[in-house]
Amino acid sequence: MTDTSYRIQGATGEWEVVIGLEVHAQVTSNAKLFSGAATEFGAEPNTQVSLVDAAMPGMLPVPNMECIRQAVRTGMAIDAQINRWSRFDRKNYFYADLPQGYQISQLYHPLVGEGTVEISPDDKNPDATKVIGVERIHVEQDAGKLMHDQHPTRSYVDLNRSGVALMEIVSRPDMRSPAEAGAYLRKLRAILRYVGSCDGNMEEGSMRADVNVSVRKPGDELGTRTETKNVNSVRFVMAAIEYEAKRQVEVLEDGGRIVQETRLFNVESGTTRSMRSKEDAHDYRYFPDPDLLPLELEEDFLADCRASLPELPDAKRKRYEALGISAYQANVLTAEVEAARWFDTLLEAGAKPVAAANWTTSELFGALNRTGRDIATSPVSPTQAAELLALVADGTLSGSLAKQVFEVMLETGDAPAKIVEDRGLKQTSDTGVIEAVIAEVIAKNPNQLAQYRGGKETLFGFFVGQTMKAMGGKANPAVVNELLKKALG
């Protein structure tokens, strides 16, 4: 599927947007890429810096193979080519937050080659998919963090992040709308979290995107692109694309030209601004790092990486759909790995798939959103949820009573059976008791009875409601319906 719905209308006609993303994902590991320094987020500044990170004379980098393993597993998760031979290069530039004066990265021979990510840009139509190409995944070291005081007279540097392993995941320019870019970023984040190679926490900076945008008249050659650096949320990525594309159209229609440059996104104004002219690879004077031998991966290592992969989002979604769960619900349930694991445990506890999906996506997710919780902090466990659904299935609870029990579960964390017993919420199917209540309801509403028997059949719902109300919602609705039909004649 190709998205042709997003166009920018200018004075000279429609313009098409062309988008590519370079995602920097911090690798999940306890040590940095080339040193043994810790990678814990939030540590006191400059407390996680080894002599290698500080670029002290004579210090040699040693690759952390766990970082390499995680990058390989990520490549396998997107069906990418894994290069058994790869090499580290030096990217030369000076920043105060990179003591070496160069970044160890991969340009000419990356660890991971071409792969694909399948996206569903329209949440309401998850079957409408598009494949986004991934050009490469290369491994590199992160820089530190510069902090400036309110009066720009002093700057401070924190080197805790310097040397932390990053995967740079470079897409093809295959996206044509902010929605597609947002869907790609969400899907990629989900894959990384399923694999466990990155926590995907964009707020903490462990995943961020450089956004490449150009515009053209449909069918024309690619236009000149700009790169908006370090955007740290899906919403901001989409906003940056929308603003930058409209800005470029205005420039071109006013007779100007687009300059290849690096820009920054202002989250408060929703605008981009120029940061510097865009460098090309030759500006960095790349050359092979003389301190590092090429990486040569053995077959046993690759086999171990592949065997360690979990069930990934697309496979899980298809499995759910095969159980009778709707495509939309399957998409919702697999979007976040924690929710998918929670739901799998619910199914393992014996819950029926369709009923479980309906309840989870409506009742549970609705309650968590309402109370500001996420699935990891849910006061209701999958086992308790399975017990609640079983009580509905065997007729112990009606739908309305189940809602009451669930609310108590949210407040107390008690098991459903205990709540039913303590509060007397068990549904009754006693026909004698229900018939007596029905007789009272009919006797109290002679006018409605006459209208119903005169042909106003919609009043049947009125009698059902009155009966359920009189019984405090504890009557079995199916039994009430059956007995009312007999009583009303």
CA-wise closest residue to 313 among 158, 119, 468: 119
Report the alpha-carbon distance of residue 214 to residue 18 in Å, rounded: 5
Residue 89 φ/ψ region, left for φ over 0, alpha for ψ in the -120 to 50 degree band, beta for the rest: beta
3 state SS of 229: strand
Residues of the chain with CATH 1.10.10.410: 431-488
Name the DSSP class of 108: S
Report the alpha-carbon distance of residue 210 to residue 229 in Å, rounded: 4
Is the four-CA dihedral 136, 139, 143, 144 of positive or negative sign?
Answer: positive
Q: Are 305 and 84 in contact (CB under 8 A)?
A: no
What's the CA angle centered on 293, arms 292 and 299, to 5 degrees?
130
Tell the burial category of 394 from Cβ atoms under 10 Å away from its Cβ (0-12, 13-18, 19+): exposed
Beta-sheet pairing, 261-266 with 165-171: unpaired
Rg (CA), the chain: 30
The per-residue b/e assignment along 55-84, b for 16 or more CB within 10 angstroms, e otherwise, is eeeebebebbeebbbbbbbbbbbbebebbe
pLDDT in tens, the chain (489 residues): 444 579 999 999 999 999 999 999 999 999 999 999 999 988 999 999 999 999 999 999 999 999 999 999 999 999 999 999 999 999 998 778 889 999 999 999 999 999 999 998 887 777 788 999 999 999 999 999 888 887 767 888 999 999 999 999 999 999 999 999 999 999 999 999 999 999 999 988 899 999 999 999 998 999 999 999 999 999 999 999 999 999 999 999 999 999 999 999 999 999 999 987 766 656 778 999 999 999 999 999 999 999 999 999 999 999 999 999 999 999 999 999 999 999 999 999 999 999 999 999 999 999 999 999 999 999 999 999 999 999 999 888 888 889 989 999 999 989 999 998 887 777 666 677 778 888 888 889 988 888 888 888 888 889 888 887 887 777 777 777 878 888 887
Q: Which residues pair with 208 in a beta bridge?
A: 24
Q: Are 19 and 175 in contact (CB under 8 A)?
A: yes
Residue 192 CB neighbours (<10 A): 28
Name the DSSP class of 361: I
Q: Map tokens 């086992």 to a residue.
A: 383
pLDDT at 1: 43
Q: Are 182 and 27 in contact (CB under 8 A)?
A: no
What's the CA angle centered on 286, arms 282 and 291, to 5 degrees?
170
Report the alpha-carbon distance of residue 30 to residue 125 in Å, rounded: 40
Residue-level length of the chain? 489
Please write the tens of the pLDDT for every residue from 164-179.
999 999 999 999 999 9
Mention every residue, 6+ apart, whose C-beta is less than 8 A from residue 458: none
pLDDT at 375: 95
Name the DSSP class of 221: P
Report which residue type is found at 6. Answer: Y
Structure tokens given for 71: 């990058």
Residue 328 CB neighbours (<10 A): 16
CATH numeric code, 431-488 = 1.10.10.410
pLDDT at 2: 45
Q: CB-side exposure of 373: number of CA atoms within 13 Å?
A: 16
Q: According to DSSP H, which parts of 6-125 are helical? A: 65-77
Q: Are 104 and 141 in contact (CB under 8 A)?
A: yes
Q: Are 23 and 137 in contact (CB under 8 A)?
A: no
